[in-house]
Amino acid sequence: MAVQSALAGLLGCCFALGCGQFKPAPVTHYVYVTAKQQNLRDRVAAVSNRTGLVTNGEKLMVLDHARHWLKVQTPKGEIGWIEEKAVATDEQAEAFSKLKADHTKDQTVASGVVRDEVYMHLTPGRDAEHFFLLEEGAKLQLLRRATLEKASSTPGAPRAQKAIPQAEGTNAAKKPAAAPATNSTAPAASVAAAIEKGKAAASPAAAPPPVMEDWWLARDANGDTGWLYARMVDVDAPDALTRYAEGQKFVGAYVLTTVHDEEAPGDVKDVPVFLALMAPYKAGLPYDYDQVRVFTWSVKMHRYETGFREKNIEGYLPVQVTKMKDPGGKSVTAQTELPAFTYHVLSADSPPVVPDPVTGEIKPGKTIAKTYRLEGNTLKRIGAGVGALTTEVEAHPAVEEKKDKKGKKK
């Protein structure tokens, strides 16, 4: 019996020691720097020493947490405290990774350049979660446009102050928040007048139209994807065309072909022929562009000329640039593949397009596809049943004035 008891005790000890080996390992959490750069501090206090410097997108391992501060370790082994507002969580990083994966195969509708430092947001909107910070001059692939009402704010209202956490035991941490001052001697009549004045200002008749903001879903050189405030992005258009903008912005510029001209100014003798999409400098439009223009090159005059132009349309991205034959012709030229492009405009039979108030997405109803082929410096509309297609009525953002048989406006 004594031997059996000893063996049982020994087995119990071994079992206890073995169970200890199966304790779950502590979960390691990571955060990612969203600020352009941030100092790490040796403690959470008004006065502290710098222990390291981290930059946007850097992955940090979380060691500890205190109020709105995190104690982290960099891949270099530097350890220090950083504010929570300067980092993104694992969940946020995964959300951006999912956004990237969801739009990996999206067609590029235009090329862009960052005008100034700007954040990539998870969804359209200034208050949306942001992560990657793009530098001025960064090249972009623009994928999709959205338009949303700007986040409302009360004019003249004081902005809420963000409470900066203090280390425990400091005077700032112990000091209670001051109660807002009140004026108990204010006359009741003045208060009533102020209320009536506020009601009058808030009446629907006096309310101004909502301020809209445009956003681009874009992909940078690293493949990172996010939404950018459109005013911080310039659509990449050559300087040779910007002089012909006539007060409009470029929504896209695409090379159809090149023309060789030995007397062309500059070092480039193979001059590109451009298809350009243009729109007014106005946010919140229910279409992407209202003008299509082809800039051909004159070998005789050594300059750009307008080879094709259509205005006052409600056009939608993307456009297709390709080479094709003329299915309606039988000549040698018609059976030769030449530069061509297709764009889509809203049909007059379609209901008015209204951007989604939550996502900002713009979904047109019925559209008309229009295909043109470049033959020399002339643009010709092609496609099966062109005659029938031309009878379809298009929607126009501005009412067109009717003309008589002689082409004069009535």
Report the 3 state secondary structure along 238-261: CHHHHCCCCCCEEEEEEEEEEEEC
Q: Which one-letter amino acid corresponds to residue 10?
A: L
The burial class, CB within 10 Å (0-12 / 13-18 / 19+), for 404 is exposed
| Beta-carbon contacts of residue 185 (< 8 Å; ≥ 6 apart) | none
Between CA 141 and CA 58 the distance in angstroms is: 23
How long is the chain? Answer: 410
Read off the tokens for 353: 């397009």
pLDDT, tens digit only, all 410 positions of the chain? 444 554 455 445 544 445 545 556 677 889 999 999 999 999 998 899 999 999 999 999 999 998 899 999 999 999 999 999 999 999 999 999 999 999 999 999 999 999 999 999 999 999 999 999 999 999 999 999 999 999 864 444 444 433 333 334 333 344 444 444 444 444 445 544 544 555 445 555 667 888 999 999 999 999 999 999 999 999 999 888 988 999 999 999 999 999 999 999 989 999 999 999 999 999 999 999 999 999 999 999 999 999 999 999 999 999 999 999 999 888 999 999 999 999 999 999 999 999 999 999 999 999 999 999 999 999 999 985 455 545 689 999 987 666 555 656 55
Structural contact between residues 151 and 158, judged by C-beta atoms closer than 8 angstroms: no
Query: Backbone dihedral region of 288: left (phi > 0), alpha (psi from -120 to 50 degrees) or beta?
Result: alpha
Structural contact between residues 47 and 103, judged by C-beta atoms closer than 8 angstroms: no
